[in-house]
Amino acid sequence: MTFKRQYSWGFNMKIRKLAMNLSKLEQHLSKNIDLEQYSTDGELAAKWLSDLVAFGDLKKGCKVSDLGAGNGILGIGALLLGAEKVIFIESDPKACEIINKNISLLGLQNRSEVRNIHIEQSNIPVFDTDIIITNPPWGRQKEKADKPFLQSIIDNHTTAHILHNYRATHISNFFLNKGWKVEKYGEADFSLPATYDHHNRQRDKTRAGFWRVSPD
C-alpha cells in the first residue's frame, strides 16, 4: 500500500483502532452487477481516510457527502474521525437499510442522513457539505457508469476524494478540462470477494488509486 503521508505513532494507533471498528460493520453483498458494489475493507478505508485528515479536508466539525455509500464504511469512518455530519447517498434500498443499521449500532444516528438516491446525469443532487468522498462504479460492467458521480462533484463545486481503478486516467482529464486542480496521491490493493456469479475465485484483488480534486 502506497500513501503519500507519514503519521505520528499516536495517530497510527488511532487509525488501527478505526480499521478494526470499520471491519466489524455489516457488509452488503449485492447481486446487481450493474451497480458494481464492491465493499471497501476496513484497513483500506481507515488508511485512505487518514490521508483526508492529513490534507486538512476531513476535520472535526466538517460536513461530508458519501456518494455511492454501499454499507456506509467511508462515511462512518469520517464520523468516527470527527465529522459533524455525513450524508450517505446510495441507490440500493437494501444497502440503505444496512447503512442505517450500522450507524445505529454505533450511535451515530443524530449525525447521519441516509438518502436513497440514484445519481443520474439528469438529476444530480446538490449537497450542503464541505467535502465529498466516493468510490463510484468503475465502469467495468457499464461504460461511463462513474460519470454522474464525477459530474455531481463538479455541480457541487466541492473538494472531493475519489477511489477508482489506478489506471483511470479519465479522472484527471475530466476535472482538468473543467479548470479544477487534480492530484493522484496514492495506490493500494483493493480486495474483491466473490460477490457475483462470474467470479471464479473466492477472493481476488485489483489495484486502486486515490485522487483529490478541488475547484481552486
Mean pLDDT across the stretch 169-175? Answer: 96
Is the pLDDT at 145 greater than 90, yes or no? no
State the chain's mean pLDDT as an integer. Answer: 87
- For residue 156, give the amino acid letter: N
Q: Are 81 and 106 in contact (CB under 8 A)?
A: no
Contact at 8 Å (CB) between 51 and 7? no
Tell me the pLDDT tens digit for each residue of 69-113.
999 999 999 999 999 999 999 999 999 999 999 999 999 999 999
pLDDT for the residue numbered 138? 84
The domains located in the chain, with CATH, are 9-25+36-214 (3.40.50.150)
**166 has a pLDDT exceeding 80:** yes
- Tell me the percentage of the chain whose pLDDT exceeds 90: 69
Grid cell at residue 14: 488511532
Please, which residues have CB within 8 angstroms of residue 190's CB and are 6 or more apart in sequence?
38, 40, 44, 163, 205, 206, 207, 208
pLDDT at 212: 98
The model's confidence at residue 33, banded by pLDDT at 50, 70 and 90, is low
Q: What is the pLDDT of residue 10?
A: 60
Residue 20 is predicted with a pLDDT of 95
pLDDT at 2 over 50: no
Stated as kind and residue range, the H or E segment containing 46 is helix 42-55
Weakest-pLDDT range from 33-42, 71-80, 128-137, 192-201: 192-201
Residue 12 exposure: Cα atoms within 13 Å on the Cβ side: 5
Name the more confident of 8 and 12: 12
Whole-angstrom distance, CA of residue 175 vs CA of residue 153: 10
Q: What is the pLDDT of residue 125?
A: 73
